Structure 1
Amino acid sequence: MNFRSVKTLYAAEMARSLRTVLQSIVSPVISTSLYFVVFGAAIGTRISEVDGVSYGAFIVPGLIMLMLLTQSVSNASFGIFFPRFTGTIYEILSAPVSYFEVVLGYVGAAATKSIVLGLIVLITARLFVPFEIAHPLMMLLFLVLTSLTFSLLGFIIGIWADGFEKLQLVPLLVITPLTFLGGTFYSIDMLPPAWQIVTLANPVVYLVSGFRWSFYGMGDVSIWASLGMIALFLALSLAVVNWIFRSGYGLKP
């Protein structure tokens, strides 16, 4: 593996984030904090606890997961779309750099930014409400796997999109609604039985539930089901990325 090429692509993407620190880091943290303040204050006064956990602490994992999913997709999609838009992607593809190294550089940078944002939001949430992390290693595992998987999804979207409008299509119309309906602000046990069954068809439920389990040792679904779902997402994303480079879809002029 050419580590120098991976380092160059990775460093270029990280440098772009540092040049736009207000948009890349400060804005997501403020937005997530506002979610926490508004929902914690508005609903927390009516719901004191959920499964023995204060409502303010209960929504912390869901809000971090919401931010992880949206930011991982947005960072990775724009990271690969911009070189396609400017045409510099052809210089990268013609260089002695393998497809794996290209993906590792772009996706690695996007995942790193999401992980850093997740940790910053975690620290920020601690200023608002006390909470403990029952399984810190599992929490870090979910943090890394989710960031990596959805950065791969963002990479796929960046290849698929032929305009800036399409970059926001999936995050706004698919990922964000699924996250809001995936138990971010509530336990699915609070829903009527019929809606509980429907909600289990939402794959984001398994991600939010698994991440919440790492905090409080409880979730809406089994921790093994959550790990299986994120592993399935990761495998599907890798398969699609492999097909993209083998077929040249979205990369060849």
Structure 2
Amino acid sequence: MNWYGIIAIWRFEMARFFRSLVQSIVSPVLSTSLYFVVFGAAIGSRIDQIEGVSYGAFIVPGLIMLTVLQQSLQNASFGIYFPKFIGTIFEVLSAPLSAFEIVAGYVGAAALKGLMIGLIILATSFFFVDITIQHPVWMVAFLVLTCISFALLGFILGIWAKTFEQLNLVPLLVVTPLVFLGGSFYSISMLPPFWQTVSLFNPVLYLVSGFRWSFFGMSDVPVAASLAAITIFTLACFAVVWWIFRTGYRLKA
């Protein structure tokens, strides 16, 4: 294992993150704070509780997931797309690094960025609502798995994209709607039976539900199903990344 190579990629990506703190940290935290104000105060004043949990506290896991998914995806996709765009990706590919080591450097940095932002937003939420985390170890586990899986997805997206428009297409038109429709701001038990069934086909529902269970001990789907869903998704992303490096898809052309 070439740890020097992995750390070099990781340090480069983290340095880029800290050079743009306003965009990387301040912007998502302020955006999430606005969600707390709008949804927690305005809408929360009209919704008493959901399964014994105040609405302001209920939306905290969903808001964290919303930001973590977007940040992990965007950081990983941009991290690999930009070297490909300017041509420096060939320097990385020609270095004495295996495919796993390259992915570990880029994905590890993107996942850590998402994890840091998620924990910062969690700390910020205590200024707005009272929260008790029933299963802190599982909370961290779900958060880490989500960061890794969506950083892998972002890595795949960054390799697939040929333009900046394509780079923003999937997060804007696919991921964000899935998060909003995945029970981030409501429980699917509040929906009519037909839409409850439809929601079960939304993969993000399983992530949000499992993460919310770690906070309040309540979930829309069984926790085992949430763990299975995120594990399968992560393995599927690993399989796609393996295929990309095996075939050189949009890397060596």
**TM-score range relative to shorter protein:** over 0.9
CA deviations over 1:160-219 (Å, ceiling 9, x no partner): 000111111111100000000000100000001111011111111110000000000000
Normalising by structure 1, what TM-score?
0.99
Alignment match, 1:57: 57
TM-superposed CA distance for 1:48, in Å, is: 1.1
2:30 aligned with 1:30? yes
Alignment match, 2:194: 194
CA deviations over 1:72-96 (Å, ceiling 9, x no partner): 1000000000000110000110111
Letter in 1 for 2:93: L
In 1, Cα distance between equivalents of 2:166 and 2:69: 17
3-state SS of the aligned residue for 1:133?
A: coil
Alignment match, 1:168: 168
TM-superposed CA distance for 1:121, in Å, is: 0.1
CA deviations over 1:125-178 (Å, ceiling 9, x no partner): 011000100000000000000000000000000000001111111111000000
TM-superposed CA distance for 1:33, in Å, is: 1.2
**1:221-232 alignment, distance < 5 Å:** 221-232=221-232
2:22 aligned with 1:18? no
3-state SS of the aligned residue for 1:85?
A: helix
Normalising by structure 2, what TM-score?
0.99
TM-superposed CA distance for 1:42, in Å, is: 1.7
In 1, Cα distance between equivalents of 2:95 and 2:201: 43
CA deviations over 1:82-133 (Å, ceiling 9, x no partner): 0001100001101111111100000000000000000000000011000100
TM-superposed CA distance for 1:32, in Å, is: 1.1
In 2, Cα distance between equivalents of 1:36 and 1:10: 33
Letter in 1 for 2:213: W
Alignment match, 2:220: 220
Name structure 2 gaps, 5 residues minimum: none
Alignment match, 2:77: 77
TM-superposed CA distance for 1:242, in Å, is: 0.2
Letter in 2 for 1:244: I
- Give the share of equivalent positions with the same residue, in percent: 65
In 1, Cα distance between equivalents of 2:166 and 2:238: 21
Alignment match, 2:204: 204
In 2, Cα distance between equivalents of 1:95 and 1:57: 48
TM-superposed CA distance for 1:243, in Å, is: 0.2
Letter in 1 for 2:208: V
Letter in 1 for 2:8: T
3-state SS of the aligned residue for 2:156?
A: helix
In 2, Cα distance between equivalents of 1:36 and 1:86: 39
TM-superposed CA distance for 1:25, in Å, is: 1.0
> How many pairs align?
253
Letter in 2 for 1:218: M
Alignment match, 1:247: 247
Alignment match, 1:5: 5
Per mean C-alpha deviation after superposition, the further-off stretch among 112-121 and 38-47 is 38-47
2:82 aligned with 1:95? no
Name structure 1 gaps, 5 residues minimum: none
3-state SS of the aligned residue for 1:228?
A: helix
In 2, Cα distance between equivalents of 1:62 and 1:114: 15
TM-superposed CA distance for 1:234, in Å, is: 0.3
Runs of at least 4 residues of structure 1 off by over 6 A?
Answer: none
TM-superposed CA distance for 1:13, in Å, is: 0.1
In 1, Cα distance between equivalents of 2:219 and 2:249: 39
Tell me the C-alpha RMSD between the 2 structures: 0.5
Alignment match, 1:132: 132
In 2, Cα distance between equivalents of 1:243 and 1:83: 20
Letter in 2 for 1:98: S
